[in-house]
Amino acid sequence: MSTSSQSKWASTAPFKHLPESDGAGASGARTCACSLSRPLRRRTPGVIVAGVLLLVAGFGPPAAAQLPTYGVGRPPTVEEVKAWDLTIPPDGQGLPEGSGTAALGKPIYAGRCASCHGDKGEDPKYRVLTGGRRTLTAAELPKNVDWLLGGEPALTIGSFWQYATTLWSYINRAQPFDEPGSLRADEVYAVTAYLLYLNGVIGENDVIDAKTLPRVKMPNRDGFVPDARPDVGKTARTRKR
């Protein structure tokens, strides 16, 4: 993509030498009720000055516009960020309060998960969730076109997944398939604990919460390597024509 046309517009640097007072009057109507307004105000000169230039050019930015060059956008509220910021990284940042154990998770799993995944996560219909340890080097040929759904190697939570936080995050956001996002935090912790227990990763009464979940070391935690391509077909060869 050609970025040359936008590069001169994308930087606020050309506006920074302009006096701050020019912008203050133009943003007199600016109100920002959200709690993010404080750090924002410290940075307002560039925003306001850019806004003034756009006003001069005929584009009136709304109050509190967040794109300094183009005068559009607004800051999110804390609630808006909280409602969507659901992806949990390996360090567990963003995990909510609550907790669960495998014992508590068993009946929840039975009611909400087992119809698709089997009583113990063994049903290959929509991906096997359990078992499969020590099958990653299995040389067995695929049993069907979509062997991922059955056969070996079996890439399950216990045999393959790197992080327990991924499990929590995905269940919380996307499961059950027909009612995504419908489990409460305690239920997600409990179902996560049950699946970790079924995979032999934790004990039946181990408490899983925001502190303990990131500390769970998955059996295949160190089973991943970086991309090594191009590893095949690298060289342009001279061939007989």
Partner 1 sequence: MNPSAQQPERPSPSRRRFIKHGIALGAALAAGRAAPAHAQLPPAPDDPSRVVGGPMLPYGERSRFEEALREKGPPSMPDEWGGNFTPLGEMLGTITPSALHYEVCRGGVPTIDPKKHRLLIHGMVDRPLILTIEEIRRLPSASRILFLECAGNTRSEWAAPMAPSVQFTHGLTSCSEWTGVALSLLLREAGARKNASWIVAEGADATGNERSIPMAKAMDDVLVAYGQNGEALRPGNGYPLRLIVPGWEGNINTKWLRRIKVVDSPYMTRMESPDHTSLMPDGKARQFLFVMEAKSVITFPSGAQRLPGLGFYEIKGLAWSGRGLVRRVEVSADGGKTWRDAKLQAPLLRFAHARFRLDWRWDGREAVLQSRCTDETGYVQPTLAELVKVRGVNTIYHNNAIQSWKVAADGNVHNVHV
Binding to partner 1 (CB under 8 A): which residues in 12-41? 36, 39-40
CB of 136 to partner 1, least distance (A): 4
> Which single residue is written with the structure tokens 């070391």?
217
Residue type, 140: E
Cβ-proximal residues to 46 (8 Å cutoff; 6+ apart), any chain: 12, 15, 16, 68
CB of 46 to partner 1, least distance (A): 9
Does the protein bind partner 1 through residue 231 (CB under 8 A)? yes
Residue number, 104 or 131, with CB nearest to partner 1: 131
Residue list 162-181, contact with partner 1 (CB under 8 A): 162-163, 165-166, 169-170, 173-174, 177, 180
Does the protein bind partner 1 through residue 88 (CB under 8 A)? yes
Strand partners, 208: 100
CB of 103 to partner 1, least distance (A): 26
CB of 144 to partner 1, least distance (A): 9
Residue number, 119 or 146, with CB nearest to partner 1: 146
Q: Transcribe 157-172 into DSSP letters.
A: TTTT--BHHHHHHHHH
Cα distances (Å, whole numbers) of residue 124 to 151, 164, 177: 8, 21, 16
- Which of 77, 78, 76, 26 shows the shortest CA–CA distance to 47? 26
The conformational region for residue 99 under phi > 0 = left, psi -120 to 50 = alpha, else beta, is beta
Residue number, 16 or 205, with CB nearest to partner 1: 16
64-72, 105-113, 186-194, 195-203 -> range binding partner 1 (CB under 8 A): 64-72
CB of 221 to partner 1, least distance (A): 10
Does the protein bind partner 1 through residue 60 (CB under 8 A)? no
CB of 106 to partner 1, least distance (A): 23
Strand partners, 217: 163
25-33, 61-69, 100-108, 195-203 -> range binding partner 1 (CB under 8 A): 61-69
Does the protein bind partner 1 through residue 211 (CB under 8 A)? no
CA distance 51 to 66: 10
> Which single residue is written with the structure tokens 């303990």?
212
Residue number, 116 or 207, with CB nearest to partner 1: 116
Rg over CA atoms, the chain: 26
Between 113 and 152, how does the x/- string for binding to partner 1 read (CB under 8 A)? ------------xx---------xxxx-xx--xx-xx---
Cβ-proximal residues to 226 (8 Å cutoff; 6+ apart), any chain: none
